[in-house]
A and B are shown apart, each in its own frame.
Chain A
Amino acid sequence: MNLPPPSTPPAGADAAAALALLQRRFERERTSRKAAEALLNEKSRALYDSAQAAREAERRLQLALWASGEGIWSWDVPTDSFSVDGLDVMGQTLRLGPCPMAELQDMVEPIDRDSVRLAFGLYLNQAAADIDTAFRGRLNGAQRWLRIRGRALTRDDAGRPTHVTGTIKDVTEQRAAEQSLHMMAQAFGSTHDALVIIDASDTIVQANAPFAMLLERPLVELEGGNLATVLGLEAPLATRGTWRGDIGLGEGYQLRHIEVAVTPVSAVAHGGGAACSIVALRDVSERRRAEDALHRQAYVDGLTGLVNRLSVMRLLDERCGGGSSRLFALLYIDLDGFKAVNDTLGHHAGDALLRDVSRRLRHVASAGCIGRLGGDEFVVVLPTGTDADEAAEFADLVIQSVSRPYRIDGQVVVVTPSIGIAVHPQHGGTPEDLLLNADIAMYAAKQLGRRRFVTFHADLDSGRQRRQHLQQLLRTDSDRDAFTFVAQSQFDATGRPIGGELLIRWQTAAFGAVSPAEFIPLAEQIGVIDRIGRQAMRTAAQVASIAQFMGLDTTLAVNLSPRQLLQDDVEAALLEACELARVPPARLCVELTESALVTDAQRVGDLLRRLAERGFVLALDDFGTGYSSLSHLRELPFHKVKVDRSFVRDLGGDPRARVMLDGIVKLCTSLGLAVVAEGVETRAQFEQLVGMGVTQFQGYWFARPQPLATWIESVAQGQVPADTLMSASAARVAA
């Protein structure tokens, strides 16, 4: 196709038109030039900005690589030129290559070479979208874990990468951290402790199975919840920082004590953002119960549930602390007759009685602190402000309450309290003084006849001083065998003397004659009773020996205390005494009370059987007041039973005492036991006793205790018409 020829300029066109055309063309050219210049400027600026942006992007990339510790690698496949730049290994920036790929592979530890080759091979053959592999390499002589990632920059027509580039990073620390994290995760999952990870707003990010077990709820229900709410706490946990404390979970008897430890962990971040806290929870209910039990053991009396001596002392320490002059009173309570209950009904009954007494004390003394000091001794520390008068009123209440009969194991039991009152600060400024003085007052109450209270006063202290003094004297006098003995005769129904009981006497310079009732318990307390007992045995054997020598038909009784009967050598001591005095055991009667059988009935029973076999006469003393066990009478080899003097005393007035005594006598007689009545003071008593069938008698109506020589003489007189033997025997005793 051809265009029509250009039209020729109109002939005769005026020069003005041509000029106007030229001017328009010129104007267009100038305008377009300016437009082009403006565009050029604009392009230049854009180019500059773009170059700047590229430089900035490059700088940022370098910075990012530096910050991430990553280096750049590049591999030109056709020329097999591999290079690494900017790889940070232990703070040192490495540059490798350019070198063939094979050289890089030499750097890879043999164990990982195949996997690296595979990663590159898969990528080159387009079987993998990119290269991403980690391997162990040897760099600067050390083994490091490296991660290499990359993609093609250019590809050939078949799509195969021709230039591959990417990043390389030393991930040794990261792998170690990952492994450590892995181990931590395993520990988290397998520990028996309940662990929870919470975020800053207490949301449970993760929790382990023991946590679900602790709360008895499924894990899925707990995760995502608010831990403080789940635990029923008002204040959030995450904001407490490092915190440890105890909380209660559940209510009533299902209440459990949970120990909670919150540890903020900045290293473990959740969702790439806020710091987390690890919360460890442990059910310490068992431990708390054990601690409570220990506390109770330490401060509470196990039998009665009252506080124990330690607690009482703490309270008193507190009340008396710092020389305080706070007014308050305390009651020292001892049960009268408790020992008898223990002896007769056994420890089980004794314990039950103590519990019952404790209940009554609690009832009447709810305002005070009631403690059991041990045995049958109680103390009531009355509230601050209690004076002696109020304490006395209170003591009256205690007496009324505690003295009411108890029913123990189906039996009615009566015990009474003896109470000592001491008031702080007038009766003592320290816990020890207060308790001691209350004890002294209690002792005085007992001395005054029991079932009463005594408020401490200075005179009472002299009683304590007397006891202390007596104890000192006992020690020295037992060493010196300074005790003397008398004997009281025993008679048959015809009034003929048939034997006697050896009785101890103690004469002191300071106090004059001291009653055995006072000093024997003291001697038992300080442990000199054995020595005194031996002296008694030897004396009895000697006296019996003389009586035998004189041809008298008599036995002499010697008392053994419960404590003596538990000594290993009591049998040997008795035999030795007989041997020394050259007297057969049958001439000695061993008297013991039933309380001796309570502590170790088996052992004492065995001892009695051996003594019986040796020929000793055995008598059960004070029968009818304590245990009064018929089985003892049946099973143990007693020859005599001495009924308690109280029966004889009450014969005249109390018909029931007579009935009981009658029964005892009949029973003993039918068992073949001789019955001895003690404390016979009148003819009437004697006649009544004879009427009942009692065959042996002891008492003032017959004879008072006599010096030993006199006693032998009286027996001899009673048994044998006076003859020459009498004077001979008297002479021997005197010698």
Chain B
Amino acid sequence: MLGMVFTEFIELVEEKFSPEVADEVITAAAPANQGAYTAVGYYPHDDMVAMVGALSERTGVPAADLLQVFGAHLLKRFTEIHAPMFAAYPTYFELVAAIDQHIHVEVRKLYDQAVLPRFTVLSRTDDGIDLFYDSPRRMEMLAVGLLEAAARHYGESVRISHAEAQSPDGRAGVLFTIRRQ
């Protein structure tokens, strides 16, 4: 998993809770590098699962909610770091449709070892889009947070629902149904 996800997560915990909570979460999760993450490195996905679990336990907030918040935080960071990219997609739906074919292609140019989820566009209209999410890590709530925050960035009011599903070619994953409201 990209180091940036870890550094942003720790920053988020420090910001939203406190440096002490962040320290406790790290200590509790006991990652191999003792929490010394750098944005340009790659780290085990299990570290993130452990830290989210530790935070949830410490705060009493369900992990899914934590991930959704984290998704929103990440998107905000993306808009700051990759503003030209967002500028290239004039509408929310265009951005969402382009995640797999364009955005992730650009990500790979920077992080060639990145393991990225796949977002397959199943259908698209002027007011909605159906996406099939497919990731070995199953962090669909992180994706929900990202998608909701992106909609807010574009000023779109959307309803996002998700459900377990199978892709047309038989892969197990999650179907995101996004509709303008």
Binding site for B on A (CB under 8 A): 1, 3-4, 6-9, 21, 24-25, 27-33, 35-36, 39-40, 43
Q: Which residues of B contact A27 (CB under 8 A)?
A: 34, 36
| Closest Cβ neighbor of A37 among chain B residues | B38
Please choose the segment from B61-69, B87-95, B129-137, B169-177 that sits at the chain A interface, where 4 or more of its residues have CB less than 8 A away.
Answer: B61-69
Cβ–Cβ < 8 Å partners of A39 in chain B: 38, 40-41
In the bound complex, how far is the Cα of B22 from the Cα of A28, in angstroms?
Answer: 12
The answer for the CA separation of A21 and B7 in the assembled complex, in Å, is 17
CB-CB contacts below 8 Å: B13-59 with A: 16-21, 23, 26, 33-41, 59
- Shortest C-beta distance, A40 to chain B (Å), equals 7
Closest to B12 in A: A3
Which of chain B's residues have a CB closer than 8 A to the CB of A7?
A: 17-18, 20-21
Q: Complex formed: what's the CA distance from A157 to B93 in Å?
A: 18
B17/A6 in contact, CB under 8 A? yes
Q: How far is the CB of B11 from chain A (nearest CB, A)?
A: 12
| Residue contact B65 to A1, C-beta cutoff 8 Å | yes
Question: B60 at interface (Cβ–Cβ under 8 A)?
Answer: yes
Q: How far is the CB of B170 from chain A (nearest CB, A)?
A: 27
Chain A: minimal CB distance from B173 (Å): 24
* Contact between chains at B38 and A32 (CB < 8 Å): yes
| B21-A6 in contact (CB<8A) | yes
By the criterion CB–CB under 8 Å, are B38 and A4 in contact?
no
A7 vs B29: C-alpha distance when bound (angstroms): 19
Whether the pair B36, A32 counts as a contact (CB closer than 8 A) is yes
Contact partner, B38, options A1, A3, A36, Cβ 8 Å: A36
Distance in Å from the Cβ of A625 to the closest Cβ of chain B?
A: 126
User: Known contacts being A3-B61, A6-B18, is A24 close to B33, with CB within 8 Å?
Assistant: no
**Pairwise interchain contact A28-B34, C-beta atoms closer than 8 A:** yes
A31 contacts across to B, CB distance below 8 A: 33-34, 36
B residues contacting A by CB (< 8 A) are 7, 16-21, 23, 26, 33-41, 59-61, 65-66, 68-69
Asked whether B19 lies within 8 Å of A28 as measured between CB atoms, the reply is no
Give the docked Cα–Cα distance between A16 and B41 (Å): 32
A85 to chain B, nearest CB (A): 29
Given the complex, which residues of A lie within 8 Å of B18, measured CB to CB? 6-9
8 pairs, CB–CB < 8 Å, chain A vs chain B: A4-B59, A7-B18, A24-B23, A25-B23, A27-B36, A31-B34, A36-B41, A39-B38
Residue in A closest to B6 when the chains form the complex, CB atoms: A32
Contacts of A3 in B (CB 8 A): 16-17, 59, 61, 66, 69
Chain A residue nearest to B18 in the complex (CB): A6
Neighbouring B residues of A21 by C-beta, 8 Å = 19-20, 23
Contacts of A6 in B (CB 8 A): 16-18, 21
Q: Which residue of B lies closest to A39 (CB)?
A: B40
Q: Nearest Cβ in chain A — how far from B169, in angstroms?
A: 22
The smallest C-beta distance from A23 to any residue of chain B, in angstroms, reads: 11
A36 to B36 Cα, complex, angstroms = 10
Selected from A4, A25, A32, the residue in CB contact (under 8 A) with B37 is A32
The docked-state distance in angstroms from the alpha carbon of A54 to that of B124 is 40
How close is B141's CB to chain A, nearest CB, in angstroms? 11
Chain A contacts for B59, CB-based, 8 A: 3-4
Inter-chain contacts of A43 with B (CB < 8 A): 40
Bound-state Cα–Cα, A40 to B26, Å: 25
Q: Which residues of A contact B17 (CB under 8 A)?
A: 3-4, 6-7
A9–B41 CB distance below 8 A: no
**A326–B11 alpha-carbon span in the complex (Å):** 126
Task: Please name 4 further chain A to chain B contacts, defined as beta carbons within 8 Å, in addition to the given A6-B16, A7-B20, sorted by A numbering.
Answer: A3-B59, A21-B23, A32-B7, A32-B36
Question: Smallest distance from the beta carbon of A51 to chain B beta carbons, Å?
Answer: 15
**Neighbouring B residues of A8 by C-beta, 8 Å:** 18
In the complex, A43 Cα to B65 Cα: how many Å?
Answer: 36
Q: What 10 pairs between A and B have smallest CB-CB spacing?
A: A31-B36, A36-B38, A32-B36, A32-B38, A6-B18, A28-B36, A6-B17, A35-B38, A3-B16, A28-B35
Task: Give the contacting residue for A40; candidates B19, B23, B40, B61; CB below 8 A.
Answer: B40
B69 / chain A contacts, CB cutoff of 8 Å? 1, 3
Q: Which residue of A lies closest to B60 (CB)?
A: A4
B19, B20, B38: the one within 8 Å of A33 (CB): B38
Closest A residue to B62 by beta carbon equals: A1
CA distance A512 to B139 in the complex (A): 154
Nearest opposing residue in chain B for A31, CB measure? B36
- Chain A contacts of B19 at CB under 8 A? 21, 25
CA–CA, A35 to B31, complex, Å?
Answer: 15
What residues of B have a CB within 8 angstroms of the CB of A9 in the complex?
18, 20
Tell me how far the C-beta of A721 lies from the nearest C-beta in chain B, rounded to whole angstroms: 162
In the assembled complex, which residues on chain B have CB atoms less than 8 Å from the CB atom of A25?
Answer: 19, 23
Q: Which residues of B contact A35 (CB under 8 A)?
A: 33, 36, 38, 41
Q: How far is the CB of A617 from chain B (nearest CB, A)?
A: 136
A48 to B65, CA, bound (A): 43
Residues of A within 8 A of B16 (CB): 3, 6
Query: How long is the Cα–Cα vector from A149 to B59 in the complex, in angstroms?
Result: 66
Contact B61 A4 (CB under 8 A): yes
Give chain B nearest CB distance to A43 CB in angstroms: 7
The chain B residue with its CB closest to the CB of A21 is: B23
Alpha-carbon distance between A33 and B21 when the two chains are bound, in angstroms: 22
| B37 surroundings in chain A (CB, below 8 A) | 28, 32
Chain B, residue nearest A36 (CB): B38
Nearest CB of B to A36, in Å: 4
Pick from A32, A36, A39 the residue with the most CB of B within 10 Å.
A32
Which B residues lie within 8 Å of A1 (CB)?
65, 68-69
Cα A692 to Cα B14 in complex, Å, equals: 174
A535 to chain B, nearest CB (A): 134
* A6, A8, A21, A33 pick with most chain B CB within 10 angstroms: A6
Q: Are B20 and A36 in contact (CB under 8 A)?
A: no
Output the least CB separation between A158 and chain B (Å).
Answer: 15
Q: How far is the CB of B128 from chain A (nearest CB, A)?
A: 22
State in angstroms the CA–CA spacing of A1 and B144 once bound together. 13
Which chain A residues lie closer than 8 Å to B36 at the CB level? 27-32, 35
Residues from chain A with Cβ under 8 Å of B41 in the complex: 35-36, 39
A19 to B174, CA, bound (A): 45
Q: Complex: how many Å from CA A7 to CA B60? A: 13
A94 CB to closest chain B CB (Å) equals 37
CA distance A43 to B41 in the complex (A): 11
Bound complex: CA A24 to CA B26 (Å): 11
CB of B44 to closest CB in A, whole Å = 14
Chain B residue with Cβ nearest A1:
B65
Q: In angstroms, how far is the closest chain B Cβ from the Cβ of A590? A: 131
Minimum C-beta distance from B38 to chain A (A): 4
Distance in Å from the Cβ of B9 to the closest Cβ of chain A? 13
Query: Least Cβ distance of B34 to chain A in Å?
Result: 7
Q: Give, as a whole number of angstroms, the nearest-CB distance from A423 to chain B.
A: 110
Distance in Å from the Cβ of A44 to the closest Cβ of chain B?
A: 12
- Min Cβ gap B166→A in Å is 29
Give Cα A7 to B40, complex, Å.
Answer: 30
A682 to chain B, nearest CB (A): 146
